[in-house]
Structure 1
Amino acid sequence: MKAQSPNTRPVTKNLGGINSTLVEQEERRQDLGFGTKLNDAYSRLINKDGSFNINRVNDSFWDRLNLYNRLITMRWSKFLGLVLLFYVSENLVFASFYMLAGPENLRGLLDVTDGSTFGQFWGAFFFSAQTLTTVGYGHISPVGYVTSLIAAFESMIGLLAFALVTGLLYGRFSRPVAHIRFSRNAVFAPYLDVNGWMFRIINTRSHQLIDLQVEVTLSRLEAKPDGTRYRRYYGLNLERAKVTFFPTNWTLVHPITSESPLHGCTPEDLKESDAEFLILLRAMDDTFSQVVHTRYSYRFDEVLWGRKYRVMFDSSHQGIVRLDLDKLDDTDPAPLN
C-alpha cells in the first residue's frame, strides 16, 4: 500500500446525503489485525519466534491451557520430558495404591524383593509398569478383588494414555513446519540508483519449498491533528515478492522510491515512530504437499544503515554451488545513495 500524497485530495463518500471523508479514509486504512490502539512505544508486535506479543488475561482455564496445541508445538525435548514424567508419576501413584491394598495381595512380590518396605514398593512399581504397558511378565499377579480392580483400571489407563501419546507423536511428525532462518538484522543498503530496505532468508532443511510468497508491512506510530498518536500500517512493495524455487538464500528488497513510506526516513525517525517491519511468509512444502507459513519482525533497532549482505555461495567446488549458512548475517559497509 502506497502512502497517500499530501497533495492528493481526499475522496468523500455520500452516506444518506452526508459526505464523509473520515469513513472513506477508514475503509481504505490497512490493518493487520492489531488495530490502531497499540501505541505504547518500544514494544514489538511479533516476537522473534514468530508468536504475537499479546498476553491474554481473564480467559478461562481451558482456553488458556490449550493442551493439544501446546503438546503439538512445544520443543521435542520438553515433550519427551513430559511423557517420561507422566509415565513415572503414573507408576508411582499405582505402586502406592498396590501398597495400600496390601503387598500380600501381589502374589510373587516377596519372591522378587528382599522383603523390606522399600523393596516391596519398587516391586509394586515395576509390576505397575508391566500392567500399564500390558507386558505382564507373569512372575507377579494380583490376588483379590481390590488389587485386581486396581490392575484392571491401570490397564485401561495405559491403553488410553499410549493411544493419546501415539496420536501426538504422529501429529508432531506429520505437522509441516517452515524451517526458515532470517538474518539477524535487516539493512538499508544501496539498490540500483536508489536505496533499499532489505533482509535475507534461507531454508535450513534439505526439503524443497516451492511458490514462496512474502508480505512485508511497516508498522509505526503517527500523530493525529490533535496530537494523539496511533499505529498505522503500510504495505511495502517488494522488488520481488514471489519465487518459484528456493534452493539458496533469498534477499528481499523494498526499493525506497519517492512513493515509499520510508522515503526520507532516518534512524531517528524510525526510533521516534517505534517502527517495526512485520513479515509473513507462505510456501508449499513439497514433502507434505501442504502450505506452511512463518512470521518474523525487525524493529527499528535491528536495522543496520549503510551495510550490504555478503555473498553466501560460490560455485568453485567442481561445478557444485556451495552455500555457507554461517554467512547469513555477514554484512559489509556500503555507503547509501
Structure 2
Amino acid sequence: MAKKVQDPGLGEDAITTAKRIVNKDGSFNIKHLHGKTGISALYAYLVDISWTRFFCFVFLAYFILNLFFATIYVFIGVEYISVEPQTFIVDFVNAFFFSSQTITTLGYGAMAPTSLIAGVVSSFQALVGLLSFSFVTGLLYGRFSKPKALIQFSENIIWRDFNDGKALMFRLMNSKTDVMINPRVTVTLAITEMDNNEGYQRNFYQLKLERDHITYLPTTWTLVHEITEDSPLHKFTEEQLKTLNGEFLIMVSYYDEAFNEEVYRLHSYTFEELLMNVAFEKAFYFDEDGYTVLDHRKISHTEKM
C-alpha cells in the first residue's frame, strides 16, 4: 500500500488545468505577486537568467542610457560638445556617439564639452557610467562564481519490463567533464486526484529508488523505481498512466570539486513525457585504445524492447 507524504511546500489544492510545478530548466512555475523588490532582488534575478537574456538587458540598458543623455545634449546644443550643428538626425547621432564615449570614460578627443552645462551633464554621465559598469562587473563575477549543477536529463521517463514486473526509469549525466562526487537523488510523485468533496487535490508520494545515491558518476546513471505493491503507481494500468494528471519532481545533489561545495538541480517529468515499453540505449562505449567514450547526444536515445 502506497503511503502519502506531507505536502513538501507546494500546496495540496489543485485544478485539472494546473501547469507543471517545475519547469524544464529547474525553476518553479510560480507567479509572484506583491513580492519584495529592490537592488538585491534585481541582482539575484540578473544572476540567474540565461546568458542571452542577460546580455540583451545589458545592451538595452546601455542603449537607453545613451539615448537619454544624447537627447539632453541635443537640447543643450551640439555646438557645446565641439560639433558643428547640422540636421537634427546628424546632430542626434553625434550626440549619441559623444554620450557613448562619455559613459565609457573613453573619449577620443574629437568631441568635448565647451560650456558649463555640458560639462556638468557629461560629468554626471561619467559617474553613472562608472557605477553601471561596476554593477555589470559584479553581475559577471556573480554569474561565473555561483555554483551551478550542469546535469543533463533524458528527455523522457520510461516504463518497461523489469525483474518479472514493471519499472519506471529516467537517466542523467554530468554535462561537464569532471566527476560528480556522492550524487543523491530524491523523486517525489505529485498526482492530482479527486477528493471526497468532488474537488481536486494534489497527493504526494516519495518514490523508492533501486539506488538513490552512489559514490561517483563519471558516465550515466539510470534511476529505477520498481513497481511493487508499495508503489503509488501499482494500481494503474498502462492506459491509465497515459492520462494521469501528475508530475515527477526530482532533486539531484552532489559535491562539485570546481566550486568546492555541494550543488543541486531540480527537474521534473509529466506523464505526457512517459514512454512505454522502450529501453535506454547505451551512451558510452570503448574505443580502439581502450578508452571509455561518453556520447552526450545519446542521453535520451531509446530502443524498442
TM over 0.5: yes
Could you tell me which residue of structure 2 aligns to residue 21 of structure 1?
Answer: none
In structure 1, distance between residues paired with 2:101 and 2:140: 22
Could you tell me which residue of structure 2 aligns to residue 91 of structure 1?
Answer: 66
| 1:314–1:321 CA contact under 8 A, matched in 2 | yes
- Counterpart of 1:46 in structure 2: which amino acid? V
Asked whether 1:30 is paired with 2:1, we answer no
Could you tell me which residue of structure 1 aligns to residue 83 of structure 2?
Answer: 109
Asked whether 1:293 is paired with 2:264, we answer yes
Could you tell me which residue of structure 2 aligns to residue 218 of structure 1?
Answer: 189
Could you tell me which residue of structure 1 aligns to residue 100 of structure 2?
Answer: 129
**Secondary structure in 1 aligned to 2:37?**
helix
- Counterpart of 1:105 in structure 2: which amino acid? Y
Could you tell me which residue of structure 2 aligns to residue 14 of structure 1?
Answer: none
In structure 2, distance between residues paired with 1:214 and 1:317: 34
Structure 1 residues 123 and 53, CA, compared in 2 at 3 Å: closer, same or farther? closer
Deviation at 1:62, TM superposition (A): 3.1
Unaligned 5+ runs, structure 1: 5-27
Structure 1 residues 215 and 29, CA, compared in 2 at 3 Å: closer, same or farther? closer
In structure 1, distance between residues paired with 2:195 and 2:100: 67
**Secondary structure in 1 aligned to 2:192?**
strand
In structure 2, distance between residues paired with 1:87 and 1:205: 33
**Secondary structure in 2 aligned to 1:317?**
coil
After alignment, is 48-57 or 210-219 more displaced? Answer: 48-57
Structure 1 residues 124 and 233, CA, compared in 2 at 3 Å: closer, same or farther? same
Structure 1 residues 117 and 200, CA, compared in 2 at 3 Å: closer, same or farther? same
**Secondary structure in 2 aligned to 1:243?**
coil
**Secondary structure in 1 aligned to 2:120?**
helix
- Aligned counterpart in structure 1 of residue 126 of structure 2, from 155, 175, 178: 155
**Secondary structure in 2 aligned to 1:242?**
coil
- Aligned counterpart in structure 2 of residue 79 of structure 1, from 36, 46, 54: 54
Q: How many residues align?
A: 304
Deviation at 1:139, TM superposition (A): 3.0
In structure 2, distance between residues paired with 1:42 and 1:157: 45
Could you tell me which residue of structure 1 aligns to residue 279 of structure 2?
Answer: 308
Let me know the Cα RMSD of the aligned residues: 2.4
Deviation string, structure 1 residues 236-271 (Cα, Å, up to 9, x no partner): 111111122121111000112222222242133335
Deviation string, structure 1 residues 206-232 (Cα, Å, up to 9, x no partner): 233211111001111344455544221
- Counterpart of 1:47 in structure 2: which amino acid? N
In structure 2, distance between residues paired with 1:32 and 1:277: 13
Could you tell me which residue of structure 2 aligns to residue 266 of structure 1?
Answer: 237
In structure 1, distance between residues paired with 2:80 and 2:20: 62
- Counterpart of 1:71 in structure 2: which amino acid? L
In structure 2, distance between residues paired with 1:314 and 1:155: 58
In structure 2, distance between residues paired with 1:192 and 1:49: 33
Structure 1 residues 251 and 60, CA, compared in 2 at 3 Å: closer, same or farther? closer
Structure 1 residues 93 and 196, CA, compared in 2 at 3 Å: closer, same or farther? same
| 1:50–1:295 CA contact under 8 A, matched in 2 | yes
Asked whether 1:253 is paired with 2:229, we answer no
Could you tell me which residue of structure 2 aligns to residue 19 of structure 1?
Answer: none
Deviation at 1:274, TM superposition (A): 1.4
Could you tell me which residue of structure 2 aligns to residue 3 of structure 1?
Answer: 2
Could you tell me which residue of structure 2 aligns to residue 15 of structure 1?
Answer: none
Q: Please give the TM-score of this superposition, normalised by the length of structure 1.
A: 0.82
| 2:5–2:206 CA contact under 8 A, matched in 1 | no
Q: Please give the TM-score of this superposition, normalised by the length of structure 2.
A: 0.90
In structure 2, distance between residues paired with 1:140 and 1:180: 51
Structure 1 residues 89 and 53, CA, compared in 2 at 3 Å: closer, same or farther? closer
In structure 1, distance between residues paired with 2:41 and 2:91: 39
Deviation at 1:235, TM superposition (A): 0.4
In structure 1, distance between residues paired with 2:246 and 2:35: 34
Structure 1 residues 173 and 257, CA, compared in 2 at 3 Å: closer, same or farther? same
Could you tell me which residue of structure 2 aligns to residue 17 of structure 1?
Answer: none
In structure 2, distance between residues paired with 1:47 and 1:184: 13
| 1:208–1:287 CA contact under 8 A, matched in 2 | no
Between the aligned residues of both structures, percent identity stands at: 38
In structure 2, distance between residues paired with 1:41 and 1:83: 37
Could you tell me which residue of structure 2 aligns to residue 51 of structure 1?
Answer: 27
Deviation at 1:122, TM superposition (A): 2.5
Deviation at 1:90, TM superposition (A): 1.6
Deviation at 1:326, TM superposition (A): 2.1
- 1:222-233 equivalent positions in 2, closer than 5 A: 222-225=193-196, 227-233=198-204
| 2:243–2:271 CA contact under 8 A, matched in 1 | no
In structure 1, distance between residues paired with 2:197 and 2:126: 70
Deviation at 1:60, TM superposition (A): 5.2
